[in-house]
Structures are given as structure tokens and as C-alpha cells.
Structure 1
Amino acid sequence: MKERYQDLKMKECQTILSPEGRQIFAQRKIDVEPVFGQIKVCLGYKRCNLRGKRQVRIDMGLVLITNNFLKYNKKTTQN
């Protein structure tokens, strides 16, 4: 297990250090996804309250719908 882990770790390191890997990794610094930060800070949602894929999808769907409604409400009240 440790040898396989070390092999995968070395392969990943080589991928990141390649020119293409550096370009992709540099792009990650630019493409920030603020939605998750907004959900954590504004809604106070830090973890799912349910277990199982189906329940987590429902729970996350409700959180995302709430976030979209808040954005929509903010947009309509500004106009």
C-alpha cells in the first residue's frame, strides 16, 4: 500500500511540475468559486445533516436553491 501510494504521489508530482500541469495549476488560482464561501458564511452551512447519497443530494439541492433565491431577491430589490 505504501509503495503504491508513493508511486501515485511521484506521478502526481511529475504531472504538476510539467509545463501543462503548471498551466492548469496556475489557472486554479484565478478560478475561485465564491458560491461555496457564500454558502458557508452567509447561510452558515458547514456540513450535511443527512446521510446517504440521496439525502445529501436533496439537502445540498435545498441549500443551493436557497442561495439562488437570496441572489434573485438581492438582484430584484436593487432594481
Structure 2
Amino acid sequence: MDIARNAALVVVDVQRGFEEVGFWGTRNHPAADDNIAALLDAWQSAGRPVVFVRHDSVSPGSPLRPGSEGNGFKEYVERRR
């Protein structure tokens, strides 16, 4: 794979709150977490920059609201930050 020298990996919304089936429903991409972890490992091993972004919901009932456990990154992402 040919990647530009100034490219960065952007990891968006890999938060614990997205695991709440009662709020979001059943996931349709069960391999996503393994794929994201593999990308992070490869990218970081190559010394390339990674940017982590999370959604801070303003909805009171959202599992992604700041201060809630669901707002945090999933454990495998947190280990790699």
C-alpha cells in the first residue's frame, strides 16, 4: 500500500457507548473492532501519526454524553492512545 508521507490515521467514535444494544440496536459490523485494532497497531508500528476523535453528545439520554462511562474510548483504543 502506498501511503502519502504526510498521511495520518483518524480513529473516529470508537467509544464504549456504542456497545449499548438497547440504545443503538445490534451491530452490523462485528469485525470492526479487530480491524481498527490491527490498523492502529500497523500505523503506530510504522511511526505514523494517529488522531483520536470522539463524539460528545449533548442529548441527556445518550450513552455518549460527556461524563458518562460510554463517552470513553473502548479499552483497546485507550491502551493504544
Q: Same fold (TM over 0.5)?
A: no
**Bigger-Rg structure (1/2):** 1
Higher strand share: 2
TM-score, length basis structure 1: 0.28
Relative contact order, higher structure (CA 8 A, sep 6+):
2
Higher helix share: 1
